[in-house]
Amino acid sequence: DLIASTAGRAFWILDDLGSIQQYVDASSVKIISPKPSYKFGGGNGLPEEKYSAGQNAPEGVILDYFLPASLDSEMVKLIISDESGNVIRTYTNKKDESYSKYPGGPSPVPIIPVAKGHNRFLWDYRVDQVSPDVKGVYVWGTYNGYAVKPGKYKAKLETSNGSAETEITLLSNPHIKATDAEWDEQQRILKTIVANIIEIHKTVNEVRGVKKQLQNQVDVLKEKLSAEKVLDEAKTLLKKIEGWESNIVESRIQNGQDVINWPSKINSEFFNIKGLADSPDPRITQGIKTRLSDLQNEWNTQKKNLEALRKSISDYNLLYKTQQLDALIL
């Protein structure tokens, strides 16, 4: 650190000289080794905006790196891996063109700067964002990945001009007294919660794909008298699908006030306990464990109900074939 003071009342602190001490000419890719960082909880992002008041230090590790040229036209990756070499977070310099914003949905994934010379980026100690989402469904929570435990990590910058990597040391808040076993339990529970959310959203998206096909068939067949039997079955199946989905996600919620009008469903309940478990203090309460068990049982029940729905879909497909309907109907 560098502390500079005047003879008067002011002093300034530059809290990390690493980028100056390890500076290299920009003829090669170089990532600066950061000083050990503390997982303290709270904080903001990089202090890029001007504030009229003081700002807390950013929660995360600041990564400084040098590039020999601007690399906007190519793919650059910043890969974070754990001590075992497992990739836990991947950033790039390219925007996700498929991203669309809607209330209660995920935030855009941050992109890394790739200007010639010095660049700076903040890894917020979190794993990759929860994906996929269910389009248009408001979630009272966050799709952010959960924060990792203290330990050793690695940051690797990959470019067409070469790569560079550095080790990251993440320290625990010295005021939080937790054992390694408690940190491990928190990470295990957070992984379980996220795995359930991913499975739920993938399943809902698959079922919505079937619903979309069915709705298209209803729209096409409603004027065709010879398809009346299939049309009736399609409408019945649509009601079954909508009934099942209504137990998993709440599509009527459009903003933060609507959550008091309709009860949250299973996916939002998982997001809720994810937020509770993702704490700077890793000691998981018995209440969270009990609620997680309850939600997993609820989801297992809905998966059994889905099997009956799959049987109905199979029966509908068989009926459609027996009616010898054209694939394309004018």
One-letter amino acid at 237 equals: L
Over residues 253-262, the mean pLDDT reads: 84
* pLDDT higher than 60, residue 44: no
Kind of pairing between the strands at 37-39 and 162-172: parallel
Q: What is the pLDDT of residues 203-220, one digit of tens each?
A: 999 999 999 999 998 888
Q: Which of 63-77, 125-139, 219-233 has the lowest mean pLDDT?
A: 219-233
CB atoms within 10 A of CB 316: 18
Beta carbons within 8 Å of 286's beta carbon, 6+ residues apart: none
CA distance 134 to 9: 55
DSSP 94-154: S--TT----TTSPPPPP-----SEEEEEEE-SB-PPP----TT---SS--PPPBPPSEEEE
Query: How much is the pLDDT for 259?
Result: 79
Entry pTM: 0.89
Query: How much is the pLDDT for 46?
Result: 63
HSE toward the beta carbon, residue 67, CA cutoff 13 A: 20
Q: What is the pLDDT of residues 24-39, one digit of tens each?
A: 676 789 999 999 999 8
